[in-house]
Amino acid sequence: MPFWKKDLQTLKKNGFHSMKKLQVWISACRLRTLPLSISGTIVGSGVAYSMSFFNLTIFVFTILTTLSFQILSNLANDYGDGVKGTDNQNRIGPERALQSGVITPKQMRNAIIFNVITCLLLVITLIYQAFGADQFFTSFIFIVLGILAITAAIKYTVGTSAYGYKALGDIMVFLFFGWLSVLGTYFLYSKEIDLLMLLPASSIGFLSAGVLNLNNMRDFESDKLSDKHTLAGYLGQKNARNYHLTLILVAMVFMLLYVMLSSHNISIWVIMIGFIPLLIHLTIFYSVVNPKDYDPQLKVLALSTFLLALIFGASHIFI
């Protein structure tokens, strides 16, 4: 065979492997989780806009920071479950990066380190844009919160004390995706705390916990084999289904309560449009027999939460 044909074959082979690796990295970032991660930011920003606190620069950097946190969490989750052997042939969901063998543990660790640095730079930039150089104490508090968010993103599955293996994932998701995301975003704009916003913050938190619960219900059997203890695992399939129903219904009730108690009563009918996909989700959810059929509903619930956040935000901007 002529040397140039061998070189061409080598180039094609290398190109194929590079494309495959890129696809695996993109998959490791779990793009379908990103809309859910910024739902709380949208809710907090919508309220801030209605109160004339909105700032476009803060909004952009809050979105970027939140996305970087979520990607970090996804990479760390892939690494933690991968090295522990939790992601194996018994798992129902899509194949993970380390599980595929295309990406090594060392490469994933380097990606996590790079993402941590990115998160820190975005956090510092966001805090400076929000508070400037004068509000030192407030800036310090938010830097601490940023470090806690980074730590929580990593410690979900990484290490011997990973809280995702001790049935603490639901409460952490509720706190970080709900309270911290919504209240923290609003404070970045307004520099004040509105306790009434605990209602929509809790709503987003409950829905986010619902996504995690679906994930854990899908992986119920494989998690038991891997000694991964989740809340769904402790509850059992029947009680986990009732828990899921409670999360969704209470989330809708809290959102309605906020709209009724705030000065945006006219938007109650608009908000209720966002409940339709959630109710459809519950109908499909209760028809599921095989745990693998929970997997499509992960995306449905995540996007339904994102849609509700968009509708909520729009109702505070345009109504």
Would you say residue 32 lies in a domain? no
Domain span including residue 241: 41-318
Would you say residue 276 lies in a domain? yes
C-alpha span between 126 and 35 (Å, rounded): 20
What the block records as the tokens of 184 is: 């923290």
Average pLDDT (258-281) is 84
Determine what percent of the chain is predicted with pLDDT higher than 90.
Answer: 58
pLDDT at 102: 76
Would you say residue 26 lies in a domain? no
Q: pLDDT at residue 271 above 90?
A: no
Mean pLDDT of the chain: 87
Would you say residue 33 lies in a domain? no
Q: pLDDT at residue 2 above 80?
A: no
pLDDT at 8: 42
List, for residues 75-85, the tens digit of each pLDDT value.
988 887 777 66
pLDDT at 88: 59
Q: pLDDT at residue 310 above 90?
A: yes
pLDDT at 165: 84
List, for residues 12-39, the tens digit of each pLDDT value.
455 545 677 788 778 778 888 899 999 9
Give me the phi and psi of 241, to 5 degrees please: -65, -40
Picking from 37, 56, 34, the residue whose alpha carbon sits closest to that of residue 45 is 56
pLDDT at 16: 45
Would you say residue 28 lies in a domain? no
Would you say residue 36 lies in a domain? no
pLDDT at 160: 77
List, for residues 162-182, the tens digit of each pLDDT value.
888 888 999 999 999 999 999
Q: pLDDT at residue 4 above 50?
A: no
Give me the phi and psi of 262, to 5 degrees please: -85, -175
Would you say residue 24 lies in a domain? no
Q: Which residues contact 77 (CB under 8 A, 6 or more apart)?
A: 156, 157, 164
Would you say residue 288 lies in a domain? yes
Q: Considering the entire predicted model, what is its pTM?
A: 0.89
pLDDT at 159: 77
What the block records as the tokens of 24 is: 């695996």
Q: pLDDT at residue 49 above 70?
A: yes
- How many domains is the chain built from? 1
Name the more confident of 90 and 122. Answer: 122
